[in-house]
């Protein structure tokens, strides 16, 4: 038995379980942990450390997405995301919203890359300059 694989299999099974099924999986997990040798316990500790590292990375990515969304929340109702996506990124509005919302594409959470953030900043500066120019011309 590959101890790490079994640990992750049971963890995933527990996460998907509902109601009384969860209790059965917990018993299965208890039996698994009770049967471990000292060497296998070290392998499980390594798996847990790996799992926490992955969770920390996911939380960090979620925080980046939330931070970007929060910063844009006040202006999104007033700007054309479709226009920004098309004219500044050469992409669709769906592409833009996938990154803004941190959607999973092919099993991986997507977000704006550092270069795309710079492009978005430049787009917003250009838009704000155009708005200011138009506002000043309304005298």
Rounded to the nearest integer, the mean pLDDT of the chain is 91
According to DSSP, residue 107 is labeled T
What is the pLDDT at residue 54? 86
C-beta of residue 5 within 8 angstroms of C-beta of residue 12: no
Q: What percent of the chain has pLDDT over 70?
A: 99
Rounded to whole angstroms, the Cα distance separating 30 from 95 reads: 44
SS3 category, 35: coil
What is the sign of the dihedral through the CA atoms of 95, 97, 100 and 105? Answer: negative
Quick one: pLDDT band at residue 113, thresholds 50, 70, 90? very high
What is the pLDDT at residue 63? 76
The C-alpha angle 55, 60, 84, rounded to 5 degrees, equals 130
pLDDT average, residue stretch 63-79: 88
The C-alpha R_g of the chain, in whole angstroms, comes to 23
Exposure of 61 in the CB half-sphere (CA atoms within 13 A)? 17
pLDDT average, residue stretch 79-86: 95
As a three-state string, the secondary structure of 63-105 is HHHHHHHHHHCCCHHHCCHHHHHHHHHCCCHHHHHHHHHCCEE
pTM above 0.85, yes or no: no
């Amino acid at each position: 038995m590959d101890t790490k694989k079994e640990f992750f299999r049971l963890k995933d099974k527990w996460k998907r379980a509902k109601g009384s099924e969860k209790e059965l999986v917990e018993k299965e997990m208890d039996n698994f942990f009770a049967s471990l040798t000292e060497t296998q316990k070290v392998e499980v500790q390594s798996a847990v450390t790996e799992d926490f590292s992955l969770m920390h990375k996911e939380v960090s990515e979620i925080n980046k997405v939330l931070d970007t969304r929060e910063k844009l929340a006040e202006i999104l109702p007033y700007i054309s995301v479709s226009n920004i996506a098309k004219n500044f990124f050469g992409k669709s509005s769906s592409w833009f919203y996938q990154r803004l919302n941190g959607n999973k594409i092919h099993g991986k959470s997507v977000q704006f890359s550092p270069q795309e953030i710079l492009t978005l900043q430049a787009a917003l500066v250009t838009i704000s300059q155009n708005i200011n120019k138009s506002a000043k011309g309304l005298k």
